[in-house]
Amino acid sequence: AGDQVAAGTVNCDGVLTIEVVSSGGETQVAGIVRMVESAQQREAPVQRLADEVSGKFVYGVMGASAATFVFWSTVGTKLFPSVLASAASVGSAPLLIALQMTASVLVVACPCALGLATPTAVLVGTALGARHGLLIRGGDILEKANTLDTVVFDKTGTLTIGKPVLQETRTTGGFSDIELIALAGAVERNCRHPLALAITEAATKAEIPNYNVQDGTFKQEPGAGASATVNKKVVSVGTRAFVSAQGGDSSVPKELMSTENNPGRTPVYVGIDGKIVGVLEMQDEIRSDAAETIRRLHAQNIQTVMISGDRLETAQAVGKLIGIEEKFIYGGVRPEGKAELVKDLQKSGKRVAMVGDGINDAAALAQADIGIAMAGGVGAASEVASIVLLGDRLPQVVDAIDLSKATFNKIKQNLGWAFGYNLIGIPIAAGALLPAYGIALTPSVAGAIMGFSSLGVMGNSLLLKLKGRELSKPPEEENKA
C-alpha cells in the first residue's frame, strides 16, 4: 500500500497510480468544508446572552411604544403645548401625534442588530481562519481562545519537525549494530510514533536484513514502547523503564552509556529476552519557527509549558533553545500524565490550550480548554481538537489566539453599537427632543435609520477581514512577497 493522496493534490512530476477509495462527499477537502460549515453554526456563549436579551427587548419595545402612545395622547400635548404648533402638518391633533410617535418607536427599535452582532463576527472570523489554514470549530471556541493564559506544547512533532534521525548505535552482548537495528525495526514497523518511523527507516537500508514479527506476539504501550517475538527472540524497544519492565533487570551495561554530553538526543533502548543490549540515539530537528512562536506568546503574557515523553534532559535541551523556562518543562510524561498535567493547571485557575500532533496527545487535547492539533499529526488528535492547524505551522497557534481576540473585540463592538443605537434611537423616536428642539422622527425616517443600524453591524464585522493581513504566511508566500 502506498501513501494517501488528498483530493486537490497537484502532481508536479512523474506518474501517479491512484486508487479511489472515497466518493466526492467523503474526501478530505469535503470533510474540511463540512467542519467549517458546522463551526459557523455553533453559537458562542455571548450569542446566547444576546438572544436572551433580544427576546426580552421585544417586550420592552412594545411596552415603550404603549407608554409613548398613552403619554402623547393624554398629558403630553398639555405639558408641551408648543408641540401642537410644530406638528401642524399632521393635523395638530394629540391622537395623530401619539400614533406617529408610537409607530416611530416600533420601527426604529432594532433587536435584529443585537441578534446579528455575534453570528456575523463569528461567520467572518471562522471563514477568515479557514482561508489562512485555521480550522476553528465554532464561535464558542473563539470565545474560549480569547481568554487563554497558558499554552502547553508537546515536543515531538510539535516543537520539533517530528522526523528524528538515528545518530548513533551502541550494542553489547555480541549483537552487531546492523542486527540490533534489524530486530528493533521489525518491532517498530507496526508503530506510527515518529521515533518508531525513524528506526523503521533506518532498518530499510539495503545492507540490513528484513525480519518479521511472529504473529500474535506484538504488544504496544503508547508513550512507552513496543515488544514482539522476532527470530525466536523477545525484542522490546522503547524507554528504559519499559524495556526494563519486560525482563525485570533495569541495569544498563557500561558500554551502552554515552561518553559524550548530548542532551538533545533521545535514547531508545533495545532489550533482547529481558536484558538491555543496545541503545539507539535519535535526534529530532527543532522547527525553525518554534522560538519565534514562543517569543510572540510571551509578548502577550501567555505562559508556555512543554511536556514530552522523552527524558527530562532531552526536553530541557530543546526548551532552552526555544525560550521555555526550565521550571515549565516536563519530561518522561506518559499520555495519561499529559492530561493530568493539563487538569492540574486548570485547577490552579489557568485557561489552558494544548498543542499536539499524535494519539499520545489526544487525552490532553480533550482535557484542555482549547485543543490545538497540528495537521501533520494523526486523525485521533484532529478529531478531539478544537482548532486544527491545516498549515502545520507553529505561528498559527498565535494566529488562532490573535484571531479569536480580534473576533471577540468585534462582537463587543457590535453589541455596544446595537445597545447604544437603541438607547439613543428609541427615546428620540418617542419624542424626547420634540418639546425642546422640535425634532421628531417620522416612521419612514425611523425605518431608514433602523436599516442603517443593521448594516453598521455587518459592515463592522466585515472589517475583521483586514486582520488577515496580520496573520502569518507560509514561508513560500513570504519569499514571494
Residues annotated as catalytic (active site), given as ranges: 154
Q: How far apart are CA 270 and CA 247, in angstroms?
A: 12
Distance CA 283, CA 292 (A): 21
The set of residues, in sequence order, having a beta carbon less than 8 Å from that of 192 and lying 6+ positions away, is: 358, 359, 378
Q: How far is CA 305 from the centre of its chain?
A: 16
Residue type, 21: V
- d(Cα 304, Cα 290) in Å, to the nearest integer? 12
- Angle (nearest 5°) at CA 430 between 427 and 432: 60
Query: How far is 8 from 339, CA to CA, in rounded Å?
Result: 36
Element (DSSP H or E) covering residue 443: helix 443-462
Bridge partners, 283 (sequence order) = 165
C-alpha cell at 384: 478531539
> What is the C-alpha to C-alpha distance for residues 49 and 142, in angstroms, rounded to an integer?
16
Residue 363: how many other CB atoms lie within 10 Å: 23
Within a 13 Å sphere around the CA of 290, how many CA atoms are in the beta-carbon half?
25
Residue 183, helix vs strand vs coil: helix
Q: Which residues pair with 268 in a beta bridge?
A: 280
CA 116, 119, 120: angle at the middle one, nearest 5? Answer: 70
Q: Where are the beta strands (DSSP E) in 128-164?
A: 134-136, 150-154
* Dist. CA 366–CA 346, nearest whole Å: 13
Rounded-to-integer distance, Cα 419 and Cα 54, Å: 10
User: Cell digits for 379?
Assistant: 486523525
Using CA atoms of 208, 213, 214, 220 in order, give the dihedral in degrees to the nearest 10.
150
| Helix orientation angle between 290-299 and 312-322, rounded to the nearest 10 degrees | 70
* Cβ proximity of 42 and 139 under 8 Å: yes
Residue 367: C-alpha distances to residues 44, 146, 372, 385 (Å): 19, 18, 11, 10
